Amino acid sequence: MVATGSSARHEPVLALPADRLTEVALVTEGSYPCSPGGVSVWCDELMRNMPHVRFRLVAITLTDRDRWIWAPPPNVVSVEHFGVWDRVRDRLAKNRAPSCPPQLEALISLLTGPPAATLDQELAAFEPVLDGLLDLATDASLGRYLRFETFCEPVVDALSSSEHLNSRYEVTLADGLDVASSLAHLLSPLTIDPGPVDVVHATANGLPALVGLAAQARRGTPFMLTEHGLYLRERYIAAPNELGRPVLKDVMLRFHRLVVAVGLRRATLLAPASDFNARWQRAMGAEPSRVETIYNGIDPTEFPARQEPVWHTNVVWLGRVDPLKDLHTLIRSADLVRRKVPDVTYRLFGEEPPSSRGYLASCQELVRELRLEPTVTFEGRARHPADAFHAGQFSVLSSISEGFPYTVLESMSCGVPVVGTSVGGVPEAIADTGFVVPPRDPVAMADASIRMLASESRRRELGRAARERVERLFAIDAMLSRHDDLYRGWAARRTRPTELAVAQAGER
């Protein structure tokens, strides 16, 4: 088993009846099946390689009209595509909205009032409020309150009377309308009920965690949380572009901070994709005994080591064209490298997801400003990641936030060393088989790239070491085996005692 972090003890897996399949609700947000990227790859690999598990997929996206780009495997028995910001759902709600219940009034008061001195103190106030909302979700009455009309008046009143917010911002009616609309939508995942499953497995904190928390409240369902990136950090990074006026940013980031903290403290098991994430989770209050790092894994046979040398001075990047990948820093570093290595070329493989529309154009504009058109090319989606990596003398990763990125493992498996940023689990993956540089630092990235280009023998040595590291530590079998153990354990504990007795008698 490839797992580091805390040395958590696990109960032995009990026997299951032969015809009893494990049932898992896998909850995503903004990834599978509507987006490319590492989390989607992880979801597909997990489900496709565990055909004995029945998966119920819950896909949270901006709207339920987002296009699917992945075809779920046959063992996905249901898909609930839940559009959090679906205005169509609002328009179809023609009945009169009920008045705001005390549970929601308490939440509004908390989010607009002065924050406590510490996170623990703030959670002491927030958790009873959340429990009240979970009670409404359990008896299926919460959904009828999640309407803009229900929130509007109490939110506007709370904002206008908030000394805390009025001392910091010029609070307007528009702020009240924005906050009311946002809260009505962001609480809606609490209404999702995937049914009586063995475990709810959320692939991110935040909104997916709300589904797990509601399942815990309804049926006592175990709730497993796998954080790939750091949800809260990414919300703060994205806030300048995703959120509007300062008051909305203040209230929404506070909401996300509290939900993330509760998710970390109440999840049955936290399975972060890196030790970096595990340390952050423990610092946010997660019980160490419930934290177990389970690294992402790949099949090295699908990413064979490159056999032929690359004679062109190619540098490869592959990923989702998204602000978190910070391609602007990569492009600026390419400009610096070109001054020392005039024949260098940067081949960038990947597509722009709908949520990042406009970022690709900004990258292309920067290439034009720096007159890098012959040096930096945007290749679109690669036929297969191995094809892209085999074309480079080394690969780069310029992200400002990551979990445990597949692109790094895939490049390493191909025997292509990596220059990556010191974010998330990237340093854990690369170790001494490549170079790690600070994020947002084009000079450091350029210096490391020039060093990588300076010696072919050094690149070959690092590439061999990278391939060996993947084979030794990051093969997919270990990842699948650990998840299978956990799923079966929860399934056995949900099976009725009489069924267990029959199964165990049959074994004897």
CA torsion sign for 240, 241, 247, 253 is: negative
**Contacting residues for 271 by C-beta, under 8 A, at least 6 apart:** 224, 225, 226, 292, 293, 294, 486
pLDDT score for 508: 46
pLDDT score for 452: 96
Tokens at 484, concatenated: 């299978």
pLDDT score for 470: 97
pLDDT score for 86: 79
Cα separation, 155 vs 161, in Å, equals 10
Was domain 22-290 assigned CATH 3.40.50? yes
Tokens at 493, concatenated: 């504990």
Q: Read off the pLDDT of residues 137-159 as tens digits, 9 standing for 90 and up.
A: 998 889 889 988 999 999 999 99
Was domain 300-473 assigned CATH 3.40.50.2000? yes
Q: Are 111 and 255 in contact (CB under 8 A)?
A: yes
**Contacting residues for 245 by C-beta, under 8 A, at least 6 apart:** 169, 172, 174, 175, 178
pLDDT score for 405: 92
Cα separation, 403 vs 428, in Å, equals 11
pLDDT score for 309: 79
pLDDT score for 17: 52
pLDDT score for 90: 56
Residues of the chain with CATH 3.40.50.2000: 300-473
pLDDT score for 7: 28
Cα separation, 215 vs 237, in Å, equals 29
Cα separation, 74 vs 72, in Å, equals 7
Q: What is the pLDDT along the chain (508 residues), one digit of tens a residue?
A: 233 333 232 333 344 455 578 999 999 999 999 988 889 999 999 999 999 999 999 999 988 888 899 999 999 999 999 999 875 555 555 667 788 999 999 999 999 999 999 999 999 999 999 999 999 999 888 988 998 899 999 999 999 999 999 999 999 999 999 999 999 999 999 999 999 999 999 999 999 999 999 999 999 999 999 999 888 888 888 777 766 789 999 999 999 999 999 999 999 999 999 999 999 999 999 999 999 999 999 999 999 999 887 888 999 999 999 999 999 999 999 999 999 999 999 999 999 887 788 999 999 999 999 999 999 999 999 999 999 999 999 999 999 989 899 999 999 999 999 999 999 999 999 999 999 999 999 999 999 999 999 999 999 999 999 999 999 999 999 999 999 999 999 999 886 544 544 444 454 4
**Contacting residues for 85 by C-beta, under 8 A, at least 6 apart:** 62, 63, 185
Cα separation, 156 vs 63, in Å, equals 26
Torsions phi, psi for 471 (to 5 deg)? -60, -35
Q: Read off the pLDDT of residues 305-330 as tens digits, 9 standing for 90 and up.
A: 998 878 889 999 999 999 999 999 99
Q: Are 442 and 337 in contact (CB under 8 A)?
A: no
**Contacting residues for 292 by C-beta, under 8 A, at least 6 apart:** 3, 5, 6, 8, 269, 270, 271, 278
pLDDT score for 88: 52
Tokens at 79, concatenated: 């898909």
